[in-house]
Amino acid sequence: RHAVKLAGFDIVWFDLPKSGLTPNAWTIEWGYDQSFGYVCHLDLRSGVVGALFREPKPKVLVFVPQGGAFEAASEFVLPIAKHHVDTLKFVFADPATTENAMAAFGLTAQDAPIAVIHRTHPSDQKYLPPPGARALTEAGLKRMVGDFLAGKLRGMAGNDAEDGEL
């Protein structure tokens, strides 16, 4: 799977064919089931945070360490993100570099891998997975997203809406 970073903060992933490519003359086409986006990577040292905060869609932040855990999670997160591309913004975040974002949800790096939801418009509200369903799994993420979209997921008490952080 290959990633292409677009201007701004979006990343599109796509699969290349394993054979049939001739050297130096490529025309690449991929089908609906071979491309995934628009997902972004949270980088607290860049302008991504401000752009994400202004994004009107609720953000699904997927805190997962880089490496094998990221690769495993991306296999099921990317298709879910693609399914909800019109309603939600999916964001990958490495817990080693996004401690402040995790702290806004009362989490630490030891809680990863975990997915949370942050609605910033029209008002600020943060959502954690339901108790007993905090492990990052395909079924758990689908349930959390479905419950959120159906208005069944309870928001966190004591939101810090003015902190300006994801």
Phi/psi at 102 (5° precision): -65, -40
Give the residue, 15 or 78, on which the prediction is more confident.
78
- Judged against a pLDDT cut of 50, whether residue 17 lies above it is answered with yes
Average pLDDT of every residue of the chain: 80
- Judged against a pLDDT cut of 90, whether residue 136 lies above it is answered with yes
**Helix (H, G, I), strand (E, B), or coil: what is residue 131?**
coil
Residues 6+ apart with CB under 8 A from 117: 58, 59, 60, 61, 88, 126, 127, 144, 145, 148, 153
59/105 Cα distance (integer angstroms): 13
pLDDT attached to residue 123: 87
Confidence of residue 29 (pLDDT cuts 50, 70, 90): low
Give the residue, 35 or 141, on which the prediction is more confident.
141
Give the residue, 92 or 41, on which the prediction is more confident.
92
Helix (H) or strand (E) holding 139: helix 138-149
- Average pLDDT on 115-129 reads 94
- Judged against a pLDDT cut of 50, whether residue 56 lies above it is answered with yes
CATH of domain 2-16+28-152: 3.40.30.10
Give the residue, 55 or 60, on which the prediction is more confident.
60
- Judged against a pLDDT cut of 60, whether residue 55 lies above it is answered with yes
- Judged against a pLDDT cut of 80, whether residue 52 lies above it is answered with no
Extract the tokens encoding 56: 């009107």
pLDDT attached to residue 161: 41
pLDDT attached to residue 40: 79
Instruction: Name 13's bridge partners.
Output: 3, 36
